[in-house]
Structure 1
Amino acid sequence: MIHIEQLEKHYQVGGREVHALRNIHLNVRKGQIFGIIGRSGAGKSTLLRALNLLERPSSGKVLIEGEDITRFNSEQLHSLRQRIGMVFQHFNLLNAKTIAENIDFPLKLAGTYSKDVRQKRVDELLELVGLSDQRHKFPSQLSGGQKQRVGIARALANYPHLLLCDEATSALDPETTQAILRLLSDINQKLGLTIVLITHEMQVIRTICDQVAVIDAGEIVESGDVADVFLHPQHAVTQSLVAENQALDLDLLQRIQCHENSQLLRLTYVGAATHEPILSRIAAQTKADITILQGTISRIKNTPYGQLLVELSGAPDQIAVVLNLLRDLDVRTEIIEGAH
């Protein structure tokens, strides 16, 4: 669906060149939800806006459905932008128009639909986002979550192949955020629509994304399946972002006094293994003592996972047996070095 090669974006600021994006390489598969996460100023908005050329790259390629859009003329670019919907952080609704009129607006601009066809499409979209009973209201009469639902409906008006979400939930409270994320996930599944979103919140990525790219100072520092990146972050920036949404209290490590002949382990279960009594089975087979210090079970999108912090005590040969059993059972095992 999307293939980005060697993408660069430079600005001239005060007589010096500023690199907003550096050597970006990304692939987004058709029908997936792809997240781009980074701190403020990391370059994620610039990268997102390069996907519809609201930001024109300094160099590199942006291929959408096999076509390099950086080579498009104005007519081709106009057609492209009709196939790409965009949802904004602050909704960007027309305050003087009703909800139905806001959704109808891009259909009128397209100039290819009759009034009856437009009316039918507006009705479909209002039902899709759960606002059929709000059609005659104005944006000022809606809550933030309702406004964003209108923004999503408007972005879908022209039957886009791709939906771009620019911090679409950052202006919303946590409960409303979850409702909007469920709506986006539902749209992705019902319509098979490819969604690319940017955020600074790992919880958003964890809730609905299939893959994620971490951006810092204009560079992609880590990318991959969300479960891999969230549970086993490699780069310091990713580790920091994950720590803010971390299931385990890693500060606890500083306070733990491990016993003699023991090791501190972080165990990660993914999928069906999450709900299996693995430690009970291992304890029954060995003479080692396994003490659970902290743990959690949660989900990354549709995948259950569990993380445990445990102290493993026993003779060296007993500990070795436990470690081998854990690995044979596909439990990711990390030995925490430096625990006291």
Structure 2
Amino acid sequence: MIEIAQLEKHYQVQGRQISALRNINLDIAQGEVFGIIGRSGAGKSTLLRALNLLERPTSGKVVFEGEDITQFNTQQLQELRQRIGMVFQHFNLLSAKTVAQNIEFPLKLTGKYTAQQRASRVAELLDLVGLQEHAAKYPAQLSGGQKQRVGIARALANYPHLLLCDEATSALDPETTQAILRLLLDINQKLGLTIVLITHEMQVIRSICDRVAVIDGGEIVETGNVVEVFLHPRHAVTQSLVAENQALDLSLLQELSQRGQGSSLSYLLRLTYVGSATHEPILSRIASQTKAEITILQGVIARIKNTPYGQLIVELLGEENEIDAVLKLLGQADIRVDVLNHLLTNSAAHSQTQAQEK
């Protein structure tokens, strides 16, 4: 549906060229929820606004439904923007108009619809966003979440093929944010509408997105399926954005790593479960089949959109053959295993070290 190729955006600031976007290449499929995440100033707002040419790129192309919109004239752009709805961070509602009038406004601008058609569409959208009883109210009488629902309804008025969300939940409290995200997901599923959203919060991406692009310094540093990017981030920026990547208690790990006796090995593993395996007692079964000790140090079980997942940090302690048996059983259970660290803990060597230190 959308193809972005070699997109660049440069500004001239006090005689210097500032690059906001550099060599952006992305494909966004029909019907998916695509997230763009990055820190403040990373370039995500510029990239989003390039999708409807509110920001005209310096070079490169943006292909929307088979047409390179960077070549459009003014009239073509006006028609294009009727096919692309936009939801703003701070709502941008007309304070002197009622909820119904705000939603009706873009329909009036087209000049295509009769008063009866506009009224019917407004009623349909009020029902979709759950504001049937607020049609006659003014924006000042609404909560932040209600204002954003009006903004979403207004963005949908002209039957768009694409919905752009510019930090649509960042001005809302956590509970309201989740309600708005559920509404956007419902709209995506009911209407088959493609949604592109930008955010600085990984929780937003995790809740509703199918795929994600991570932007930093005007460049895409990582992209892919949300499950893969979220659970196994490769780039340092992505890793810092993933809330579940909590710092390990190093003192605890040091204490545990010194428990080995004889030729026992201590491995620090990250185990990742996805799908139905998340809720199965796999570790319990493996522990009963081997003599190795398995200690859970930290973990989380949650969902990424509709996919359940679990990620555990465990210490695996045992003889080499016991370790091998556990790793084999984990592989058979389709659990991804990442070795974070392994220490050979030999009691004799440990004692020798202590003696030398004395």
User: Please, what TM-score do these two structures have when normalized by structure 2?
Assistant: 0.92
Preserved CA contact (<8 Å) 2:169 2:180: yes
Q: Looking at CA atoms only, which structure, 1 or 2, has the larger radius of gyration? A: 2
How far is the alpha carbon of 1:327 from its aligned partner? 1.8
How far is the alpha carbon of 1:164 from its aligned partner? 0.1
- Whole-Å Cα distance in 2 between the matches of residues 67 and 97 of structure 1? 36
Partner-residue secondary structure (3-state), 2:341: coil
Query: Please, which of 242, 248, 251 is the counterpart of residue 251 of structure 1?
Result: 248
How far is the alpha carbon of 1:75 from its aligned partner? 1.4
Kindly indicate whether residue 288 of structure 2 is the aligned counterpart of residue 284 of structure 1: yes
- Please name the residue that 1:311 is paired with: 315
Preserved CA contact (<8 Å) 2:268 2:342: no
- Please name the residue that 1:55 is paired with: 55
- Please name the residue that 1:272 is paired with: 276
Give, as a single letter, the amino acid of the residue that structure 2 aligns with 1:281: R
Preserved CA contact (<8 Å) 2:267 2:342: no
Preserved CA contact (<8 Å) 2:145 2:180: yes
- Whole-Å Cα distance in 1 between the matches of residues 118 and 169 of structure 2? 28
Preserved CA contact (<8 Å) 2:6 2:61: yes
What runs of 5+ residues in structure 1 fail to find an aligned partner? none
Partner-residue secondary structure (3-state), 2:300: strand
How far is the alpha carbon of 1:102 from its aligned partner? 0.2
- Whole-Å Cα distance in 2 between the matches of residues 241 and 176 of structure 1? 22
- Please name the residue that 1:83 is paired with: 83
More moved, 199-208 vs 316-325 = 316-325
Q: Deviations over 1:19-62 (max 9, x none)?
A: 10000010111000000000000000000000000000011110
Q: Deviations over 1:76-126 (max 9, x none)?
A: 111100000000000000000000000000000010000000000000000
- Whole-Å Cα distance in 1 between the matches of residues 206 and 310 of structure 2? 14
253 and 229 in structure 1: CA distance in 2 versus 1, 3 angstrom threshold: farther
How far is the alpha carbon of 1:250 from its aligned partner? 2.3
Aligned ranges for residues 1-340 of structure 1 at < 5 Å? 1-242=1-242, 245-246=243-244, 249-256=246-253, 257=255, 258=257, 259-260=259-260, 261-337=265-341
Preserved CA contact (<8 Å) 2:21 2:43: yes
- Whole-Å Cα distance in 2 between the matches of residues 85 and 309 of structure 1? 43
Preserved CA contact (<8 Å) 2:86 2:165: yes
Aligned residue pairs, count = 337
- Whole-Å Cα distance in 2 between the matches of residues 338 and 275 of structure 1? 27
How far is the alpha carbon of 1:284 from its aligned partner? 2.0
Preserved CA contact (<8 Å) 2:22 2:218: yes
Preserved CA contact (<8 Å) 2:34 2:209: yes
Partner-residue secondary structure (3-state), 1:23: strand
Quote the sequence identity (%): 72
More moved, 221-230 vs 261-270 = 261-270
Give, as a single letter, the amino acid of the residue that structure 1 aligns with 2:229: V
What runs of 5+ residues in structure 2 fail to find an aligned partner? 346-358
- Whole-Å Cα distance in 2 between the matches of residues 303 and 283 of structure 1? 26
How far is the alpha carbon of 1:333 from its aligned partner? 0.7
- Whole-Å Cα distance in 2 between the matches of residues 91 and 26 of structure 1? 27
What RMSD over aligned residues (CA atoms) do the two structures have, in Å? 1.2
